[in-house]
């Protein structure tokens, strides 16, 4: 992973070389704090040890009973789905991967009706075993399998905590089961059983993903000038402090579209607290040049743009043409066009004084993805240290969970009563 | 379409009843201006006349030669794709719809390799006939069809302006061709040939979509208290003026996920100018409660959340269970759960003083979608009037288009030279 922050200097908001020098003292202190947390396997910091603590042999053993499935259906939500989905959507495989990460009845029914359930591995993921959306979907999936004459106990893999509903279920029915790692919040779990079991089922090289994670570990250092991950974390933090409250995150590769969603969870849920944080706005290059770029260049000066791309990829020639005014395209390639759009967008933002940061990887493969995912996690942890927020918790979502549970008759919660007090002002 | 702005009152930022009264005088003036623009079919305002000026018979005639295709492949980008994609992803059809709206070589090649090209209708959409991404993709598609032994002139529908490359191509090869309407920017073109040809090819009721648009027209009025579209536009404008520079747009229906992307283009490209505008952050309920809600509730007070849902939908029962602590789910339904999550999230944002607006439609069908799309366009035009911006242009994207063209050898542009001057600060 390589980071170029040149276009965050002298922009509006923007940094100077002197800012970076002052910031770098704090980066050194934060790096110390992070290193101590990692050494002690503290809650959250333990995530940054996963490239060394994850056990690929256990993952391989758990998926081994499901020899060459046609597809994998993961039932999980948030951090229980996004890491696995990022790898699945970035890497090609003959084994399709699907995710039930919402409780929209139409979508759930349509997906289940389209799958050959007797050839599918169901991968249910919930640390607590009580996540309402995940367990509701799992109950629906289990019934659909029964209706299709499929023995769900032969086709189900469980990834969960040491105890709870799903753990007991796995024990009762002797299901293959993987442990959610201790001290690792869901959004930091991609380099563990939670993110890697699907990759293993799809035939991807899980060892290489972890090796990439170790590349990321090795590149942490006490200075933002020496560590791409810390350069990204410190730059985004300093820009946010100066008013860049939105981070438009724009990969120039369709295979990295889900990576932008994973990043959005990591960034929003880790850093959005105490009135601080930076809103991730997911975008996609080059498509969103025709949708969002007008705003990024000419709208409020409250954002930075992160441009992500692989340096190498397969390419496709554009045929020669006699269409008027288009001869310049002929003989060029779609890759050339995409690269030109990338460079043009980057320069066009700089020319409008909009801060932007370039993140590059060599190519979209297991190892580079492992490094990229690790790098963004380390960047996020550094940002959290610099902002003094509680990076690894998500207290603000509890209110709504209680309200929803109360509304469904799952207990007495004052939050559910607040729903009835809504102030209405309807126009129809 | 029904809009409830009750949760935008007394929040932070927020409005009061008195603000609404003051604002309403300006809404009346803006409505006058919009009505005059519509009466004169002025550039941009003409979009709001489409429910009456679009010609469904012409659309039906153009698609008639392609009797029951297996799939429709639209080649277009930005406003030439998003409206059609919104309808395609919201409504069920036996005819699949695909969109080439990016120039990622891997994605283009993978899609073309997966399609039975002899059964596909190619729908190429570009007003000018020179959009680089669209024409490059079209050249690649045409070659792929030739390689597959398919006569592309038998399988291609063109939607373009009165003159230019694509118009000449259609004339030369006698292709079915539709006119892009005059005075209608791409992002406002969903209720025209640009958005409706795919719907017609998929067998949807185009007349009903336009009837929904007319419902939207009929509900415009000189007061935000009488017009849901204007209530939405005025509320979002006033909140942005007070600091809500981000609009997290969160439908609670997977079928409306692409609608959120369409909205994001409409909002960003129309209103993001002169340092003003509001950044659309696409989200999806209930999934993103596990990703973005922490930030929305506890991050910077710079946002509003728009919650969108259909009031009716098909539902799916959750089976009874003996899993501990989950009995409250059994006998309930996925729809009940989704509704409880919606209400809980809405209340949880209100309890944290985060402004939020509810937008509801009866159900996801042609007529309701027509009204919803029209309503959001009218809301956007009203916002633009209140902010005194040039709603219907997108001048800030020209710089990058010139730079990209220059980089590809398509002419001498000083913008291309600026790319070489990039300030580098690389960390690897």
CB A127 within 8 Å of CB A186: yes
Give the tens place of pLDDT for each residue, A288-343. Answer: 999 999 999 999 999 999 999 999 999 999 999 888 878 899 889 999 999 999 99
Asked whether residue B220 carries a pLDDT value surpassing 90, the answer given is: yes
Query: How far apart are alpha carbons B331 and A143 in whole angstroms?
Result: 13
Q: What are the phi and psi torsion angles at A412 (to 5°)?
A: -90, 115
pTM listed for this prediction: 0.98
What is the pLDDT averaged over residues B230-249?
Answer: 98
pLDDT at A38: 98
Query: How far apart are alpha carbons B130 and B133 in whole angstroms?
Result: 9
Taking contacts as CB-CB distances below 8 angstroms, the residues of chain A near B77 are 286-287, 290
- Bridge partners of B317, per DSSP, are B333
Asked whether residue B325 carries a pLDDT value surpassing 90, the answer given is: no
Q: What are the phi and psi torsion angles at A402 (to 5°)?
A: -65, -40
User: Could you tell me the two tokens for A224?
Assistant: 């933002």
Asked whether residue B416 carries a pLDDT value surpassing 90, the answer given is: yes
Question: Considering A269, A371, A377, A385, which one is annotated as catalytic?
Answer: A269
Cα A52 → chain centroid: 20
The DSSP element (H or E) to which B37 belongs, if any, is helix B17-39
**Cβ under 8 Å to A: B residues 22-41:** none
Query: How far apart are alpha carbons A142 and A158 in whole angstroms?
Result: 13
- Bridge partners of B346, per DSSP, are none
Residue indicated by tokens 């959340």: B305
Taking contacts as CB-CB distances below 8 angstroms, the residues of chain A near B329 are 132, 135-136, 139, 408, 410
Give the tens place of pLDDT for each residue, A219-266. Answer: 999 999 999 999 999 999 999 999 999 999 999 999 999 999 999 999
The DSSP element (H or E) to which A340 belongs, if any, is helix A334-351
pLDDT at B207: 98
Residue indicated by tokens 């020669």: A320
Query: Is residue B254 exposed (0-12), middle (13-18) or buried (19+ Cβ within 10 Å)?
Result: buried
pLDDT at A303: 98
What is the pLDDT averaged over residues B37-62?
Answer: 98
Query: How far apart are alpha carbons B278 and B264 in whole angstroms?
Result: 10
The pLDDT > 70 percentage for chain A reads: 100
Sequence-separated (6 or more) residues with CB below 8 Å from residue A100: A73, A74, A75, A76, A108, A111, A137, A141
Query: How far apart are alpha carbons A191 and A194 in whole angstroms?
Result: 8
Which among B346, B279, B378 has a CA at the least distance from the CA of B50?
B378
What is the pLDDT averaged over residues A64-86?
Answer: 96
Nearest residue of chain B to residue A419 (CA atoms): B347
Residue indicated by tokens 């969903």: B190
**Among A157-161, B43-47, B323-327, B385-389, whose mean pLDDT is lowest?**
B323-327
SS3 A279: strand
Taking contacts as CB-CB distances below 8 angstroms, the residues of chain A near B337 are 103, 132-133, 136, 404, 408
**Contact across the interface for B400 and A289, Cβ inside 8 Å:** yes
What is the pLDDT averaged over residues B195-214?
Answer: 98
Going by DSSP bridges, is the β-strand pair A2-4/A96-100 parallel, antiparallel, or unpaired? unpaired
- The answer, for A361 touching chain B at a CB cutoff of 8 Å, is no
The pLDDT > 70 percentage for chain B reads: 100
Asked whether residue A67 carries a pLDDT value surpassing 90, the answer given is: no
- The answer, for A362 touching chain B at a CB cutoff of 8 Å, is no
Half-sphere exposure of A46 (CA within 13 A, CB side): 16
Taking contacts as CB-CB distances below 8 angstroms, the residues of chain A near B264 are 291-292
Domains identified in chain A and CATH numbers: 2-36+211-387 (3.40.50.10490), 55-180 (3.40.50.10490), 398-428 (no CATH)
The pairs formed by B401-407 with CB atoms below 8 angstroms and a separation of 24 or more are B401/A344, B401/B132, B403/A340, B403/A343, B403/A344, B403/A347, B403/A348, B404/A337, B404/A340, B404/A341, B404/A343, B404/A344, B404/B132, B405/A328, B405/B132, B407/A340, B407/A343, B407/A344
Chain A interface mutation, best of B86, B222, B298, highest count of A Cβ atoms under 10 Å? B298
pLDDT band of B326, cuts 50, 70, 90: confident
Asked whether residue B88 carries a pLDDT value surpassing 90, the answer given is: yes
Q: What are the phi and psi torsion angles at A334 (to 5°)?
A: -60, -35
Q: Known catalytic residue: A290? A: yes
- Bridge partners of A357, per DSSP, are A306
Which among B227, B137, B271, B393 has a CA at the least distance from the CA of A426?
B227
Q: What is the mean pLDDT of chain B?
A: 97
Which among B166, B80, B153, B86 has a CA at the least distance from the CA of B122?
B153
Measured in angstroms, the CA of B310 and the nearest CA of chain A are apart by 11
Asked whether residue B330 carries a pLDDT value surpassing 90, the answer given is: no
Q: What is the mean pLDDT of chain A?
A: 97
**Strand blocks (E) in B173-328:** 177-179, 246-251, 279-282, 303-310
Give the tens place of pLDDT for each residue, A272-300. Answer: 999 999 999 999 999 999 999 999 999 99
pLDDT at B396: 96
* DSSP letters spanning A188-241: G-TTSHHHHHHHHHTT--HHHHHHHHHHHHHT--SSTTT-HHHHHHHHHHHHHH
Asked whether residue A68 carries a pLDDT value surpassing 90, the answer given is: no
Give the tens place of pLDDT for each residue, A383-418. Answer: 999 999 999 999 999 999 999 999 999 999 999 999
pLDDT band of A176, cuts 50, 70, 90: very high
What is the pLDDT averaged over residues B132-161?
Answer: 96
Give the tens place of pLDDT for each residue, B100-139. Answer: 999 999 999 999 999 999 999 999 999 999 999 999 999 9
**Cβ under 8 Å to B: A residues 147-186:** 165, 168-169
């Amino acid at each position: 992973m390589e980071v170029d922050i040149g276009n965050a200097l002298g922009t509006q908001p923007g940094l100077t070389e002197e800012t970076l020098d002052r910031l770098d003292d704090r980066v050194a202190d934060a790096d110390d704090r992070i290193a101590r947390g990692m050494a002690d396997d503290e809650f959250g910091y333990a995530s940054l040890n996963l490239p060394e603590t994850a056990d690929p042999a256990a993952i391989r053993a758990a998926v081994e009973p499901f020899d060459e499935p046609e597809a994998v259906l993961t039932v999980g939500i948030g951090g229980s789905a996004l890491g696995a989905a990022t790898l699945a959507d970035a890497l090609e495989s003959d084994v399709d991967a699907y995710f039930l990460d919402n409780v929209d009845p139409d979508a759930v029914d349509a997906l289940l009706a389209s799958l050959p359930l007797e050839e599918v591995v169901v991968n249910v993921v919930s640390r607590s075993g009580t996540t309402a959306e995940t367990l509701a979907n799992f109950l629906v999936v289990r019934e659909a399998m029964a209706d299709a004459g499929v023995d769900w106990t032969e086709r189900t893999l469980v990834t969960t905590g040491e105890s709870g509903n799903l753990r007991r279920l796995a024990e009762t029915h002797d299901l293959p089961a993987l442990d959610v790692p201790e001290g690792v919040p869901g959004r930091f779990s991609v380099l563990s059983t939670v993110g890697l079991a699907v990759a293993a089922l799809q035939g991807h090289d899980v060892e290489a993903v972890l090796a990439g994670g170790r590349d990321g570990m090795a590149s942490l250092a006490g200075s933002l000038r020496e560590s791409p991950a810390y350069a990204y974390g410190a730059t985004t933090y300093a820009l946010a402090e100066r008013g860049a409250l939105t981070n438009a995150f724009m990969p120039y590769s369709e295979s990295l579209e889900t990576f932008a969603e994973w990043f959005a969870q990591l960034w929003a849920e880790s850093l959005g607290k105490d009135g601080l944080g930076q809103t991730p706005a997911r975008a996609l290059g080059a498509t969103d040049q025709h949708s969002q770029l007008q705003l990024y260049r000419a709208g409020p000066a409250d954002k930075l743009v992160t441009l992500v791309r692989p340096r190498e990829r397969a390419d496709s020639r554009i045929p020669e043409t006699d269409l008027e005014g288009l001869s310049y395209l002929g003989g060029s390639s779609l890759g050339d066009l995409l690269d030109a759009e990338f460079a043009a967008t980057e320069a066009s933002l700089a020319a409008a004084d909009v801060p932007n940061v370039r993140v590059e990887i060599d190519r979209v493969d297991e190892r580079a993805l492992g490094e990229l995912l690790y790098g963004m996690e380390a960047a996020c942890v550094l940002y959290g240290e610099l902002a003094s927020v509680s990076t690894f918790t998500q207290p603000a979502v509890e209110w709504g969970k209680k309200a929803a549970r109360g509304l469904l008759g799952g207990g007495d919660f004052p939050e559910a009563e607040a729903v009835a007090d809504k102030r209405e002002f309807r126009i129809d």
